[in-house]
Structure 1
Amino acid sequence: MNTVLASNKPSLILVVDNEPFARIQLRLSLEQEGYQIVEAEDGREALTVFKQQQPDIVLLDALMPGMDGFECCTQLQRLPNGQTTPVLMITGLDDQESVDRAFAVGAVDYVTKPVHWAVLRQRVRRLIQQSQLQQQQAQLQQQLEVANRDLQRLASTDGLTQVANRRCFDEALQQEHR
């Protein structure tokens, strides 16, 4: 099983569905895969749990009383880390309009009920892996930017005196000349 983050803790999945039986099925199935599960029964509770727990992925039902899954997904996108956390919409709706709407509000994948468990398992695993890779890329990008700033400073400063060196002088002269 490849369900663990680089920090060796199980990936956290937020399951949002107003039907208790559906949540239980998802929780039991995903716990067997080694995931840690938190649940919410509607969109409002999902937003609260998301802020508190910062899950690695959200499995979201589209049809719920109060705040439906489409509005919840829209609100999730506005939260810190909301745009980088994948949302997988799980619903009984299989019409083109619902599918298009789900992707338009920020869902990255869409699965219809009744759930095909083997497909869901693979999609969850793939989405978590992609999310982890994006996080790693962002961290590497930050490290690269810091290293480039350090290299720029080292290339333009004398190591002994910490004063601008000849290269820095030549660059400043060329810039002023322009």
Structure 2
Amino acid sequence: MNDMNLIEKGATVLVADDDPMFCVMLTQFFQANGYVVITVDDGEQAVKIFEQQHPAMIMLDGDMPVMDGFAACEVIRTLPGGEELPIFMITALEGKAAMDCAIAVMASDFVTKPIQFPELRNKLSCVMEFDLT
């Protein structure tokens, strides 16, 4: 959806999801590929962490308490440094509905739950140096 700059290994990825087990799975996935991970459980915290830490990429669950991921994405896009940041929405929606929601908030892309890690790797390979073997 957007042109994204390459995110080098060692960069910080912010994962915002209210499912602790899902956060663990994504943390293990990113750490195994050489990235530092920060996790939070709502969109409001994601916005605060973005302002404080300026992660290189954000993964936002669409359905979280306090502030959902779609609202958090909208807010982050208005903040300095948020305009071109790779932001991936994580959603249970599929097909056109998910694409419409992601486009509406200017997300870089979206992945559907349950996450298929080969699909996630392929989507992230546009912005990260993942070893796809």
Give the shorter-chain TM-score range: 0.7 to 0.9
- Find the residue that maps to 2:60 and give its secondary structure: strand
The aligned residue for residue 65 of structure 1 is 65
Does structure 2 conserve the Cα–Cα contact (< 8 Å) formed by 1:17 and 1:42?
Answer: yes
- Find the residue that maps to 1:99 and give its secondary structure: helix
The aligned residue for residue 3 of structure 2 is none
The aligned residue for residue 124 of structure 1 is 124
Give runs of ≥4 in structure 1 deviating > 6 Å. Answer: none
1:27 counterpart letter in structure 2: T
- Between the aligned partners of 1:56 and 1:128, the Cα distance in structure 2 is 10
**Whose Rg is larger?**
1
Structure with the larger RCO, 1 or 2 (CA within 8 Å, 6+ apart): 2
- In structure 2, do the counterparts of structure 1 residues 125 and 53 end up closer, same or farther at CA, with 3 Å as the change threshold? farther
- Residue by residue over 1:41-98, the C-alpha shift from the partner in whole angstroms, topping out at 9 and shown as x without a partner, is 1000000111111111111110111211111110010111001111111111115233
Q: TM-score, length-normalised on structure 1?
A: 0.65
- Find the residue that maps to 2:67 and give its secondary structure: coil
Structure 2 unmatched ranges of 5 or more: 1-5
Kindly indicate which of the two structures has a greater share of residues assigned to helix.
1
Offset, 1:121: 2.1
1:92 equivalent in alignment to 2:92: yes
Structure 1 unmatched ranges of 5 or more: 130-178
- CA-based RMSD of the aligned residues comes to 1.8
Kindly indicate which of the two structures has a greater share of residues assigned to strand.
2
The aligned residue for residue 40 of structure 1 is 40
The aligned residue for residue 51 of structure 2 is 51
Of stretches 108-117 and 120-129 in structure 1, the one that deviates more from structure 2 is 120-129
Q: TM-score, length-normalised on structure 2?
A: 0.85
1:46 counterpart letter in structure 2: A
Offset, 1:125: 3.3
